[in-house]
Structure 1
């Protein structure tokens, strides 16, 4: 006989099962066709909607088609091209710097390890996890964005407050084969039902197993998109 599951593990499995039923086709919503495009799209998505990023990258990826072209881009011209994105000046600098390293250190290819990715300018563990999962089919962890951060705390799956500890906590209770999908299930549920303000608990498939659904004083605990 195997080791009995803890109540938190039991609840996690029930959450995953119900959300798979509710969102069977959930996946990443950023548009990309190469690993480089994925990396840049994720960098741009910090504290910005995927919808906005997709509208910007539709033209951006036609203008700049390689790491070398991004690395050699004029700062002002690149910033202007992404000016409707939050923090566009800083993100333009990060993109140019990251692409310079990709060209000079990685022979123009987006690296496939956590350490090499997080060594790039503007790339934290969240961004690296997304690139590894969807660009290289390597799953090393769970992407913790604001939806994951908010909903897992509301569900009582974790009491941690910050992305790093939340990820480590979730990796101990979410089956490894679900790590990649777990984030997208949370994102879909966060957009559809468990919104940051005024979540629709009455129409939530998790209402009966969510301790926060009966908490009238609950406040949102995630107010920024951690990289």
Structure 2
């Protein structure tokens, strides 16, 4: 199974830190945020990792190289000319690198100790989402989860972690360009084609300088 790390966002909420550094290369615990993801994926057995790049995107391959340092192969999906294509748009552009079988996608601006292992989607499913308890900045949650099935309405509600497994068919028929992910997921949910699980471990949306500082302090304290 291949994996993709979403790393094309501008990181406007992180300014001025992102004025000259792409958000995935911001440091926490002595290493760039994106390196935590690469190391975890490598430990889980992923060998091909796609990274989409846009804002200051050239700095990522310059810093990370071809992935050989982690015994993986890094592939870059370049959105610098178009500008960030939103989540689904970025995935669509990267599909030639991801292939025609299900793949894992991880938001580059989250930190989580969820074990991102290869996962087999059920035959009818188009996605499997990792959901977490609602943080203070998203108290209403995103989706409902019942008996391992995800719905756009209902209770109990949880927050989408930014970690999901997708079948390429979820994006079938969409032309290249900007596309958000949520509408595609809601359509698949209505058709009963989205499974999910509730993760209760450490998950953080590193969306502000304050959250980055907190993560850096916690990781540094842990050694």
TM-score (norm 2): 0.28
Comparing both structures, which one devotes a greater share of its residues to helix? Answer: 1
Task: Name which structure has the greater RCO, CA cutoff 8 Å, separation 6+.
Answer: 2
Comparing both structures, which one devotes a greater share of its residues to strand? Answer: 2
TM-score (norm 1): 0.28
Query: Could you say which structure has the larger radius of gyration?
Result: 1
